[in-house]
């Protein structure tokens, strides 16, 4: 069985959890306090970051590399289209959410509101929270523009791009930072992916001192 080292509110870890579950791969979930720089964990990943996937034959770090490895080794369901143009769009959106969206939204909200308290890094900076709340509006509007003519973010099939985006929105939803009234298209997209069996373990996550919002695990919001 695979061993997966993660932090519960890391969108990068959540993306891998979604892919593993969607592929119906059994794995042991191990919560890692990466900020403590545990020596045994640093042997697995000298960068000291999660996620880390330990298989029978190798140790993988970095969520994009892990997801592509899983998708290539376990081909059903296919989460990266075979068409090269479609595949390029999936990768573009994956990097959009894991880079731009993370820097402009997730880090400024979830890190400031929750992660800082967990790792003992001080108090939230109000200017970052304010900027994150401003930025998420732009991103939701951009997603709406895609979903006006696509069933999923990258096209008409669910892909890694959807799991990347949903992983970020799931942690933002946990921290109560998503105004779902801003876009029915985004809300419907999230409800659709949230209702998949692969999402169940994410909806069951509970962090001590940070209770779930009432709607968090509600498939109908």
Q: At a CB cut-off of 8 Å and minimum separation 6, what does 67 contact? A: 15, 16, 19, 79, 160, 163
Q: Are 143 and 185 in contact (CB under 8 A)?
A: yes
Tokens of 150: 């696509």
pLDDT in tens, the chain (221 residues): 999 999 999 999 999 999 999 999 999 999 999 999 999 999 999 999 999 999 999 999 999 999 999 999 999 999 999 999 999 999 999 999 999 999 999 999 999 999 999 999 999 999 999 999 999 999 999 999 999 999 999 999 999 999 999 999 999 999 999 999 999 999 999 999 999 999 999 999 999 999 999 999 998 87
Q: At a CB cut-off of 8 Å and minimum separation 6, what does 25 contact? A: 2, 70, 74
Instruction: Please report, for the chain, the start and end positions of each structural domain, with discontinuous segments joined by +.
Output: 2-73, 84-203
Query: What whole-number distance in Å separates Cα of residue 156 and Cα of residue 61?
Result: 30
Please state the pTM of the whole predicted model: 0.97
CATH number of 2-73: 3.40.30.10
Query: What whole-number distance in Å separates Cα of residue 18 and Cα of residue 168?
Result: 12
CATH class of 84-203: mainly alpha
């Amino acid at each position: 069985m695979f061993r997966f080292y993660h932090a519960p509110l890391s969108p990068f870890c959540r993306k891998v959890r979604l892919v593993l579950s969607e592929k119906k791969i059994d794995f042991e979930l191990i919560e890692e306090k990466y900020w403590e720089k545990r020596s045994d964990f640093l042997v697995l990943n000298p960068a000291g970051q999660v996620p880390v996937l330990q298989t029978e034959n190798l140790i993988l770090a970095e969520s994009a590399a892990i997801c592509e490895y899983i998708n290539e080794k376990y081909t059903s369901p296919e989460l990266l289209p075979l068409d090269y143009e479609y595949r390029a769009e999936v990768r573009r959106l994956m990097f959009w959410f894991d880079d731009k969206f993370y820097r402009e939204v997730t880090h400024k909200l979830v890190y400031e509101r929750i992660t800082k308290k967990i790792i003992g890094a001080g108090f939230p900076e109000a200017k970052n929270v304010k900027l994150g709340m401003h930025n998420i509006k732009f991103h939701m509007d951009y997603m709406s523009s895609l979903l006006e003519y696509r069933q999923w973010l990258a096209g008409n099939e669910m892909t890694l791009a959807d799991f990347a985006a949903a992983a970020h929105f799931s942690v933002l939803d946990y921290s109560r930072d998503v105004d779902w009234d801003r876009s029915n298209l985004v809300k419907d997209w999230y409800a659709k992916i949230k209702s998949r069996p692969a999402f169940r373990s994410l909806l069951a996550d509970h962090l001590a001192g940070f209770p779930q919002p009432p709607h968090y695990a509600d498939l109908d919001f």
